[in-house]
Structure 1
Amino acid sequence: MTTLENASAVLKLFAQKGIRQGHPGLSFSDVVEQLGLPKSTVSRLLMTMETQGLLERDPETRLYKIGKLLLAVSSHYLSTPLVDACSPYIQQLSKQTQCTGYISMLEGRDIMVMRMFPGRTYLQVVTPAGSLLPAAETAIGRAILARQTNQQVIDRYREGYRVSSPNSPQTLEALLATLAEIREKGWSFANNETLQGISTLATSISNKHRNETVGLCLSFPSPFDGNDLPAEIREGIVAVTRQVAEKLGDEYWL
């Protein structure tokens, strides 16, 4: 392997061994065993990584930890607001699928549209940024609610549960059952709920470093068969969500 590949293997070893902040660190022998290289080669590799700020070595234990350079870069990335971090991905997915893309956040029992990316030909009716919609009557709202426990959802609707759409879960018990299905599948589907003739498919993602959760959504004309969900739309939004989740360490998807 190249030096870059070896350095990458060393960094992956931190995740493989579950080494987090507060852990003593990675030993020289751990790296030798993982890479299967001569000790002299590993010694030079670790020294270079330490010099470049990729690793730090405890002067007493002689164990290796993640270096300041990596921490600084990752901290900058993880501090980005989640709406901004997800926007380029949903914008590109909207272009690829020709669906209208949305990013929303939960506001009480509603969801607020934070970003909207118009599709090319699939949809002419759009919900602009700043709009509020009932969370229980939208795919994106239910995708976010599914990240909460049943008790948290019950507490959110303690003043009463009411919906306007006949196609939405009609009772709190029905909503909880729907959320359980979403947790199993990872995605949420709404057909002819807030708008007749319009269907939406949504996922949710969290950044635990900022304590933020957003919903990602694609909107498109309802299929003739209400259960006939376009596979390319489902696969596209799930793939994008997993891609962002991997970067943020969102264990819900990992």
Structure 2
Amino acid sequence: MAQELHRATIRVLDILECLSAASDGMTLTELAQALSAPKSSLFPIVHTLEQRQYLQQRFGTTRYMIGPSSLVLGSAYALNSGIMAFTDVIKQVVAACQETCQLGVLDQGNVLYIAKEDSPEAIRMISRVGNRLPANATAIGKALLSGLTDTEVRELYANGLPRLTSHTITNISALLSQLSDIRNGGMASEREESTPQLACWALPLYQGGKVFAALSVSVPLFRCEPGKIELICQSLQKAKTKIEQLAEMQSFGI
């Protein structure tokens, strides 16, 4: 029997996760509305997190944002999980194809982006580490979902597949068909399913026979000529081999 989660701890984590996604910070009132919680119950938690510098107020305002102590935790995770060891490989992908490369893991039904390197092009995908997007709507998410069984995927989206654009796959059978192709060595892809005018290709990364992360390259549609797509796929395949070798040798566990 699964042990019940600690409600007070859940509230602390909900606050941190909510604020991590708010680039301009949030007032206590906005935070209470977002979490459907009374301000009176949130204030002592927020105050304590602020005193320990996990949160801070934006200068001259009452808007809370993530503080420097949170950076210490994130840096420790990056070091211990092996993300920093993968950074050079990600940079090599960008150098080869001149497009944005991202590393992500599965967080329930979402992709959590944990590392990225931007394209040097003036027009490029805009994203940031810590973002979450529905996995069914992204190439990197599909690559991650390929590590689950069809039954697990159906259970994950028991309430239906989220839609981000008019091109997002919302039919579970169509999604499962794509996941089957990825499991058989195919490349995950999407075209305007997560963002208009953007395409993406991705591959799952394996450690010990299981998908532990995925790597993607995103490119604006106007640069999606055949030669570019071929270069992206080749770059991802080379990076996949290098990262999986690093993960096995150093026993990283993202």
Give the TM-score of the pair, scaled to structure 1: 0.60
Matches of 1:229 and 1:157, distance apart in 2? 33
- 1:233 correspondence with 2:237: no
Structure 1 unaligned regions, length at least 5: 1-78
Q: Please tell me whether the aligned partners of residues 138 and 190 of structure 1 are also in contact (alpha carbons under 8 angstroms).
A: yes
After TM superposition, give the deviation of residue 194 of structure 1 in Å. 1.5
Q: Which one-letter code corresponds to 1:245 in the other structure?
A: E
Matches of 2:89 and 2:123, distance apart in 1? 19
Which residue of structure 2 aligns with residue 185 of structure 1?
185
- 1:202 correspondence with 2:202: yes
CA deviations over 1:59-111 (Å, ceiling 9, x no partner)? xxxxxxxxxxxxxxxxxxxx951433322201221122110111111111111
Matches of 2:153 and 2:225, distance apart in 1? 27
Q: Please tell me whether the aligned partners of residues 125 and 220 of structure 2 are also in contact (alpha carbons under 8 angstroms).
A: no
CA deviations over 1:154-203 (Å, ceiling 9, x no partner)? 12112333323222222111111111122223421111121111111111
4+ runs of 1 displaced by more than 6 Å?
224-229
Matches of 1:212 and 1:225, distance apart in 2? 28
Q: Please tell me whether the aligned partners of residues 103 and 113 of structure 2 are also in contact (alpha carbons under 8 angstroms).
A: yes
Q: Which one-letter code corresponds to 1:165 in the other structure?
A: T
Distance 1:241-1:224 versus aligned 2 partners, 3 A rule = closer
- The range that moved more, 143-152 or 214-223, is 214-223
Which residue of structure 1 aligns with residue 162 of structure 2?
162
Which residue of structure 2 aligns with residue 29 of structure 1?
none
Give the TM-score of the pair, scaled to structure 2: 0.60
Matches of 2:220 and 2:148, distance apart in 1? 29
Q: Please tell me whether the aligned partners of residues 123 and 220 of structure 1 are also in contact (alpha carbons under 8 angstroms).
A: no
- Please show how residues 1-254 of structure 1 align to structure 2 within 5 Å: 80-121=80-121, 123-208=123-208, 213-222=212-221, 230-249=229-248
Percent identity over paired residues: 19
Aligned residues: 171
After TM superposition, give the deviation of residue 249 of structure 1 in Å. 4.8
Which residue of structure 1 aligns with residue 73 of structure 2?
none
Which residue of structure 1 aligns with residue 47 of structure 2?
none
Structure 2 unaligned regions, length at least 5: 1-78, 250-254
**Cα root mean square deviation, aligned:** 2.8
Distance 1:86-1:225 versus aligned 2 partners, 3 A rule = closer
